Amino acid sequence: MNLKFNEMKRLNLLLIIFMCLLGACAPIQKSQVDLSGEWAFQLDPENVGVQQSWFNQDLKDQIKLPGTTDEAGYGEKTSGSDYGILTRVHKYIGAAWYQREIEIPEEWKDKEITLLLERVLWQSKIYVDGKELSTKDALATPHVHHLGVLKEGKHRLTLRIDNSLIRNMGDKGHAYGEYTQSIWNGVVGKIELQARNDLNIESIRTFPYAENNQLELDVKLSKTGGLTTSLEVKVFDTSNNKLLVESLVSVTDMQQQVVIPITNKIKLWNEFNPAIYRLEATLKDGESVDTYETNFGFSKVSASKSHVLINGESVFLRGNLDCVHFPLTGYPSMDVEGWKRIFRIYKEYGLNHVRFHSWCPPEAAFTAADELGIYIQAEASTWIDWWMALSKEESKDRPEMYTQGEPKGLGPDNPDASEFVKAEINRVLDTYGNHPSFILFCIGNELGNSDFDVMGEWMRQAKEKDSRRLYAASTARTVTPNCEYSATHSYPGIGGVRQHMTNNNNWDYEKNYGQTPVPVIAHEIGQWPVYPEWKEIDKYTGVLRARNLEGFREQAKKNGVFSQDKELHQASGKLSVLLYKDEIESFMRTPSCAGIQLLSMQDYQGQGEALIGWLDCFYDSKGIVTPEEFRQFSNTIVPLVKLPSYTFWGGDSLKSEVLLHHFGEADLNNQSIRWSLVSDIEEELLEGVFSAADYQKGTLLKVGVLEVKLPDVKKASQYTLQLSVQGTEFVNAWHIWIYPKQLDLKQDDILITESLNSEAFNKLEQGGKVLLLAHQCGDPANTKFAAWKPLYWSASFFPGQSIETLGLIVQDKHPAFADFPTENYNDWQWWNICKGAHGFALDSFPEDYKSIAQPVGDFHYNHKLGSIFELKYGKGKLLVCGYDLSESRTQFPEVRQLKYSLLNYMKSDLFHPNLELDRPFLTEKFKKFELATSLAPKGFEEAILYVKSAAKMKKNGNSSWAKETDQVVIANKVDYKIEKGNSYKDEQSSCWVGSELEILIKTPEGIKGEFYVFFHDWNNQGRKGVLNFEGRDYILGAHSKEGEWVKLNVMREDSNDGKLILKAKCTRGGNLMISAIAYITKN
């Protein structure tokens, strides 16, 4: 009996174990169903689907989701090229319908069901079994549709996706527009049904306070919990899955704050140690159970006067703009690995920050940034500026600039867009707020015509709701009292904070940055185009094609430069990198600068093909700079110098301050900084070490002063000045050139002339040699063919620039440069040489003809250019030099050295030109022009507009404005009109006068410069006022009896619509008086 009883017990135990194992192996009830796959589909170009009840009909076509109509080949099949952008192979804008059968399982009975569409452009409307249930229109966040409780079994699910302009935001931003991504129709990312209990966790916001050893949670439930409702919280370190803390708390309110003390050691999140924690929460209420999971990091974002602080430590943001560059799909990557690839490239080039220009990326980007230590600035899907409000009539000369909807700025003038943006701000904060990488947030880009009082209040409310990051109303334009940082190129009331350039680096921006009350990040620096290699066209195999580049390629073939694309690419690319180095270092030399945002490391394929990156828009290297080279000046620690020049006479003293930009992970203690001067054959001529010192992180530090006597050279040479932080990877270098003081500039039998006159032709006909200094020959506009720096951004988007080149190809191995050290592009030693230079279009020359120095013609024009080239006429030999090497300019050692080298070449037997041209061609090509004398007063010699107000009025008094009463001293392709105000004259002076004044300037499009206004107060009324120039506000203080000039910076974006508007309003003194205006371009 006992044996049988024991056997029975063992059998029962085995049965219990078996049942337990069976239960453990039973399938877990699914809480979501993936809906990716084949869907029925139908375009609705006539927008009749709702009226004809397509939600109750079977749709006739098929499509795969996630995906887009472009990828599936639906819509108009295009031919030809869109202007200034990549072209969609298939184009469709309007409503499209998507449909499939769904099955609700038995275990979802009484569950609340939602439909998640991770990203939609723009509106999604949901029907279940023919009944409309929900509409969403977010651009930045998932569309989460609440379907309610659905019966067990099969249902017809129908989506109506509309990618039309749903809200009046315009179509020029990156959240909605065709500059980079396409205006696609479809659903991308996750598509899934989700089932939740009636009582569930809607959200948990994490507020980590490492300094207090606690984690605060803001828990939001779907409804009020009961007395027995509890929340179990566990936090794990994602690097090793170790438990950091667990806690069980009672939750009874729909929204409740929970504080969890932490006793274990906390890892902080930053760019160096991106420690991520995973929070797992379980909500229990009787038999009801709901779970919620989110990642976060212990990171506190704050600010000092000049810098963003992460966990109380200053960071320098080395950032780049992301403008949705995904040419294969036309929409952003939705997977973490895709974004990790991009951010790893950021890290390779020493960057730690990304600004998402006028858009917000998907969850995958935040997750990747969290894991790799990238600081994010996200924006609320907005870019509305003054020029976007132009009508079709006003845009008729440049139809590509017309903005759909002609949107007015945010605020009372555009309630539709304002309602959307306010909601979008909250959606972004709610959806992505837990990510530690999300440190900066603003509404959008350059919101010039918006109401900044209104937007400032929105940011105050956002900060009150979520204090985990810094806020700003707009990137660039106005700074409100509620802005905690600013990314801008001109700080209101202080002035410009970027784009200074000269041939030394003994300067910084501290005078302006030091005055700003909040951290300022340099806005969109760079924008230096690079000539493309035509093989890149073959990479566009997806929904967007580079038909625009195909057109330029054909033009290059016609003008004889097609085969030179690699040379043109390399030369322009090296100059572009040189300028990125110059700009980045200038901000690192500025103690109060908070960081930079580059535009950009990758090409921008819209806005007139702005190929401004050292990577193409696929994030592939162009082969013009390596990551190691770039990190010399883009890194956490960068040695810096402040050189007074890059060119020196032999025997000169070089004196330069040496600095250390140190925003590394730790202080440097007892650290030595080494310097050396290395020749072009890598011989170290001079070297030294600064005494070991301690260098605190998070600041710009003075290392010492480098003062050495340079070698008294007999032969011109290029040298490299190198600084290195000994024992580390941190090194930086600069080219300098040393020239001999004594040179024999005898020209022997060479005729040097500045015009091809009869003397020159006689010399050539007799078999002689002529050096033509052609800087005043040809068309006066030929200066646009020989500028040192490249044109800005894009020749087609900013027309009217005085530059049409992207650098210079130098045939550095050519004997003409045997005595002039140079590489194959125009480095800093060409700066003074290029002043006032002329290049010449040689499109008619044979294809195999190459100039000795060939300016890189911008690819929008593809001119074959020359600035130093040789020709044959009769028996004679002609060397044309577009650079001014006249006697007055040989004060510059580099100018004198180039002249010496060219003369030596002409004296040699190697000077043997082959291309022969006739006299009529040469006479016309190199006709000399006389320089006009400027009538403008001192300081305004380069003005394109100079007007003395009412200076021709014949009688004293006040009268309506008439242009004929003004003295227009200069008006070069510029016009003006006084929209508000009168003309006034008395015994003392004349002016435009009024309590309100408004001046309209009609300007060439896309140029930058300075607009000067002379405010007078000759009768001492203590006049004051407020100014609004192109949407930016300024305070006009009291100006003395003598009056004063006020300078207003003109940005390219200001003149892009062909006009500038100044509004002035008097606040004291009865009226304002303007005696003169001047407009100076800076192209």
**Residue 205: how many CA atoms within 13 Å on its side-chain side?**
16
- Whether omega before 66 lies within 30 degrees of 0, making that bond cis, reads yes
Answer whether residue 27 shows pLDDT above 70: no
Answer whether residue 798 shows pLDDT above 60: yes
Lowest-pLDDT choice from 261-270, 319-328, 641-650, 1065-1074: 1065-1074
CA distance 169 to 171: 7
396 and 249 inside one domain:
no
Structure tokens at 816: 């003409």
- Whether omega before 387 lies within 30 degrees of 0, making that bond cis, reads no
pTM: 0.90
Measuring CA to CA, how many Å separate 185 from each of 45, 168, 327, 495, 965? Answer: 12, 18, 16, 43, 58
Neighbours of 743 (CB within 10 A): 18
Residue 806 in any domain: the answer is yes
Give me the pLDDT at residue 936, please.
Answer: 64
Neighbours of 1 (CB within 10 A): 5
| Domain containing residue 207 | 201-296
- CATH number at 993 reads 2.60.120
Q: What is the mean pLDDT of the chain?
A: 94
Percent of the chain predicted with pLDDT > 70: 96
Instruction: Quote helix, strand, coil % in the chain, to nearest 5.
Output: 20, 40, 45
Nearest to 268 by CA among 301, 225, 227, 292: 301
CA distance 396 to 393: 5
893 and 780 inside one domain:
yes
159 and 78 inside one domain:
yes
775 and 694 inside one domain:
no
Q: Which helix (H) or strand (E) holds 919?
A: helix 919-925
122 and 210 inside one domain:
no
Where does a domain end: 571, 597, 631?
631
For strands 699-709 and 201-209, give the pairing.
unpaired
The answer to whether 202 and 222 have CB atoms below 8 angstroms apart is yes
Nearest to 590 by CA among 498, 528, 477: 498
CA distance 898 to 739: 11
For strands 544-545 and 301-303, give the pairing.
unpaired
Answer whether residue 12 shows pLDDT above 50: no
- Amino acid 946 reads Y
Answer whether residue 701 shows pLDDT above 50: yes
Beta bridge partners of 810: 853
Give me the pLDDT at residue 481, please.
Answer: 97
- Whether omega before 563 lies within 30 degrees of 0, making that bond cis, reads no
pLDDT band for 921, please (50, 70, 90 cuts).
very high
Q: Mean of the pLDDT values across residues 790-803?
A: 92
Answer whether residue 529 shows pLDDT above 70: yes
- Report pLDDT digits (tens) over 533-590: 999 999 999 999 999 999 999 999 999 999 999 999 999 999 999 999 999 999 999 9
CA distance 76 to 747: 67
Lowest-pLDDT choice from 396-400, 945-949, 1016-1020, 1040-1044: 1040-1044
pLDDT band for 780, please (50, 70, 90 cuts).
confident
Answer whether residue 353 shows pLDDT above 50: yes
Q: Please report how the helices 415-432 and 363-372 are oriented relative to each other, as an axis angle in degrees rounded to 10.
A: 50
pLDDT band for 1083, please (50, 70, 90 cuts).
low
CA distance 385 to 408: 8
Beta bridge partners of 971: 945
pLDDT band for 449, please (50, 70, 90 cuts).
very high
Lowest-pLDDT choice from 135-139, 189-193, 250-254, 368-372: 250-254
889 and 1021 inside one domain:
no
Give me the pLDDT at residue 1040, please.
Answer: 75
Lowest-pLDDT choice from 415-419, 804-808, 928-932, 1042-1046: 928-932
DSSP 797-853: TSTT-S--EEEEEE-TTSGGGTTS---SS--GGGTTTTTT---EE-TTS-TT---SE
Which one has a higher pLDDT value, 177 or 1082?
177
Answer whether residue 974 shows pLDDT above 80: yes
321 and 438 inside one domain:
yes
Residue 938 in any domain: the answer is no
510 and 379 inside one domain:
yes
Residue 24 in any domain: the answer is no
Give me the pLDDT at residue 1052, please.
Answer: 80
Radius of gyration of the chain (CA): 34
CA distance 427 to 198: 23
| 1081 contact partners, CB below 8 Å, separation of at least 6 | 802, 942, 944, 1007, 1008, 1009
- CATH number at 40 reads 2.60.120.260
591 and 650 inside one domain:
no
Give me the pLDDT at residue 781, please.
Answer: 83
Answer whether residue 861 shows pLDDT above 60: yes
pLDDT band for 934, please (50, 70, 90 cuts).
low
Give me the pLDDT at residue 932, please.
Answer: 56
907 and 994 inside one domain:
no
510 and 609 inside one domain:
yes
Where does a domain end: 714, 737, 760?
737
Residue 722 in any domain: the answer is yes
CA distance 494 to 523: 15
CA distance 549 to 915: 31
Residue 20 in any domain: the answer is no
- Amino acid 1019 reads N
3-class SS at 765? helix
Answer whether residue 923 shows pLDDT above 80: yes
CA distance 44 to 96: 5
3-class SS at 959? strand
Which one has a higher pLDDT value, 684 or 284?
284
Residue 972 in any domain: the answer is yes
The answer to whether 257 and 234 have CB atoms below 8 angstroms apart is no
pLDDT band for 496, please (50, 70, 90 cuts).
confident
655 and 729 inside one domain:
yes
Answer whether residue 42 shows pLDDT above 60: yes
Which one has a higher pLDDT value, 805 or 799?
805
Residue 563 in any domain: the answer is no
Give me the pLDDT at residue 681, please.
Answer: 80
Give me the pLDDT at residue 47, please.
Answer: 98
Measuring CA to CA, how many Å separate 739 from each of 102, 717, 834? Answer: 80, 7, 18
- CATH number at 243 reads 2.60.40.10
Residue 578 in any domain: the answer is no
Q: Mean of the pLDDT values across residues 402-407?
A: 96
Where does a domain end: 710, 737, 764?
737
Lowest-pLDDT choice from 35-49, 222-236, 368-382, 480-494: 222-236
Provide the domain count of the chain.
6
